[in-house]
Amino acid sequence: MCPRSGTTQEDETLNDLQPSWGEAGLNKLALPFNRAYHRYAIVLACATLLLLVAGALVTSNDAGLSVPDWPTSFGSYIKMPHMVGGVKYEHGHRMVAELVGLLTIGLVFWTWRVETRPWMRHLSLIALAAVIVQGILGGITVIMRLPAYVSSAHAAVAQTFFCVTVLMVMFTGERWIQEHPRVALDTRRPSLIALTLLSVFSLYVQLFLGAMFRHKGLSWWPHVLNAAVVAAILTWTAVRALAQYAELDEVRLPAVTMLSLMVTQLCLGFAAFITRVMWGRDAVQPEFPMVVSTVAHVVVGALLLATAVVLAVQVWRHVPVAVAEPVPRTEPRPAAA
């Protein structure tokens, strides 16, 4: 960087800091707020969270093969089986999944009807693809008799789909559509956006390790050891966000929520470990404390992942990385004799 006349090197560096992205993209306003459309997205997100609860109940109660066939239930597409024992968890899970699938199809149609933002249309198609893949993985899990890696992929896609629905809620919200984003450049390294992406990645690793443990594909200790790594990364990310950008509500609120959910998740993880590994090791059937703590652990984990994704998007929107652009040297022209 070349010094300009009458300026210091520091002044010039500050003047040359520019966002690493332009005004296009998520900052661009495109349409008025549609309250009904936004509420429909909320309904889908809530139904998806209910689906995660239903899926966790299946796993926690060892009910994965209570309905041994797929896509039929005991040979029928429409006949309701006797909802007893593990059947009420497994078939109930399938019924909620069908509801979520229908709601997702409705959201896609509504999005393509009212949205003028192309990326929102694409996001709705991603949601549809995720729910289709999720259904197929659930079927393969039954057909292949609960292989750990397929069941873990089923869990990962489920939480990814939930994150997409949460983003749809945020992107259709009145605040997102009508606000003029305040921008604060990030000059520190590693950047806050890099930390948020690292947080999301670490949570996915933790999700996979936990799913492998629940489905008896791994021991408990990789999940427990990685929990300390995840806690350190999330704390680093949240503290950086709160220390530098507390004046930005869009950054502060998800950062505080992420910290709160992380502490809650660690407590639930400890409770799940005690009830599952220590107290329930020799139990013939899953006991109630183990079921409750495990289901709560899965659900709060999904909320934590979704919050980390929201924080990453808000940081990308409001805290772009600053870059210094070199200033070309200009040589003075010789004066005429």
Q: Which of 128, 149, 179 is the last residue of a domain?
A: 179
- What does the pLDDT look like over 57-95, one tens digit per residue? 999 999 989 999 999 999 999 889 999 989 999 999 999
What does the pLDDT read at residue 36? 97
- 126 & 201 share domain: no
- What does the pLDDT look like over 167-223, one tens digit per residue? 999 999 999 998 888 888 888 899 999 999 999 999 999 999 999 999 989 999 999
Asked, for residue 46, whether it belongs to a domain, the answer is: yes
Greatest Cα pair distance, the chain, in angstroms, is: 104
Number of domains, the chain: 2
Asked, for residue 16, whether it belongs to a domain, the answer is: no
How sure is the predictor about 326, in pLDDT bands with cuts at 50, 70 and 90?
A: low
222 vs 31, residue with greater confidence: 222
The torsion of the CA quartet 134, 140, 142, 143, rounded to 10 degrees, works out to 160
Asked, for residue 333, whether it belongs to a domain, the answer is: no
- 45 & 160 share domain: yes
Asked, for residue 5, whether it belongs to a domain, the answer is: no
Give DSSP secondary structure letters for 184-236: --B-SSS-HHHHHHHHHHHHHHHHHHHHHHHTTSS-SHHHHHHHHHHHHHHHH
What does the pLDDT read at residue 331? 58
Confidence (pTM):
0.87
How sure is the predictor about 17, in pLDDT bands with cuts at 50, 70 and 90?
A: very low
pLDDT exceeds cutoff 50 at 275: yes
Helix residue ranges, H only, 35-147: 35-60, 87-114, 118-143
How sure is the predictor about 276, in pLDDT bands with cuts at 50, 70 and 90?
A: confident
- 121 & 203 share domain: no
16 vs 62, residue with greater confidence: 62
- 200 & 243 share domain: yes
- 296 & 185 share domain: yes
How sure is the predictor about 20, in pLDDT bands with cuts at 50, 70 and 90?
A: very low
Asked, for residue 294, whether it belongs to a domain, the answer is: yes
pLDDT exceeds cutoff 90 at 334: no
pLDDT exceeds cutoff 60 at 14: no
CATH of the domain at 324: 1.20.120
Q: Which of 135, 164, 179 is the last residue of a domain?
A: 179
Q: Which of 135, 155, 179 is the last residue of a domain?
A: 179
Asked, for residue 1, whether it belongs to a domain, the answer is: no
Mean pLDDT estimate for the chain: 88
The pLDDT of 141-167, averaged and rounded, is 96
Q: How many CB atoms lie within 10 A of CB 141?
A: 23
Enclosing domain of residue 113: 32-179
> Could you give the C-alpha distances from 25 to 18, 154, 294, in angstroms and in order?
17, 31, 39
- What does the pLDDT look like over 286-300, one tens digit per residue? 888 999 999 999 999
SS3 22: coil
- 171 & 193 share domain: no
